[in-house]
Amino acid sequence: MTKLPYHRQNLAVLIQQQARQQLEEQGAANLSLRQIARFLAVTPAAVYRHFPDKASLLAALREEITAELAAALRDNVLDSADATAMLQQMITNLVTFATDHPRAVRFILTTPLAAPQSLTTVLTLVRAQRGLVGTAADATAVWTFLVGVLCQLPDAQLTVDWIAAQVDRLLGEA
């Protein structure tokens, strides 16, 4: 066990970091507040002061991972003025995130996941640049498909090009 200095100011952050590491390595079901306390060399009571139960810690992790996924989707998307390239980058980012964090993705998919605003915006741009007529429901359909893709990754050998072609079909292009 690594000895870490106990500092009341950053204990909640350390707890959440250790919980995230446990989640990534062992999955949410095996996350243990007592094990986190042992790793951080603090009493279980110190952990429970910040997170009264496992559910509250998991809620904090869900919020953190969902924010990371949304940020990952936006990464490098604005490097191009072409909406199709933006969408392709978003899909690449999604596949990369799911491949790098499979247990975290499986964990956040245990509850409904709203379509990110960045995806809705890019889909609106794609439709405008391609002269397609669409509705807000298109974003829901595409996001539902992408969540299904997330459920399959990293096990399924789905390529970014295949995923993008399916999204095009959903938008009425194929």
pLDDT at 22: 95
How far is Cα 151 from Cα 98, in angstroms, rounded to an integer?
A: 9
pLDDT at 137: 82
Backbone dihedral angles phi then psi of residue 65, each to the nearest 5 degrees: -70, -40
R_g of the chain computed on alpha carbons: 19
pLDDT at 56: 96
Distances in Å between the alpha carbon of 101 and those of 45, 56, 126, 152?
30, 21, 28, 13
How far is Cα 72 from Cα 64, in angstroms, rounded to an integer?
A: 12
Structure-token match 């279980």, residue found: 44
Q: Cα 99–144–167 angle (5° rounding)?
A: 80
In a 3-state reduction of DSSP, which class is residue 135? coil
How far is Cα 37 from Cα 22, in angstroms, rounded to an integer?
A: 12
Q: pLDDT per residue over 14-50, tens digit each?
A: 999 999 999 999 999 999 999 999 999 999 999 999 9
- Residue 34 near residue 46 (C-beta atoms within 8 A): no
The answer to whether residue 2 scores a pLDDT higher than 60 is no
Residue 15 Cα to chain centre, angstroms: 20
Stretch 47-61: mean pLDDT, rounded? 95
Question: 45: closest CA among 55, 34, 56, 60?
Answer: 34
Query: What pTM was estimated for this model as a whole?
Result: 0.87
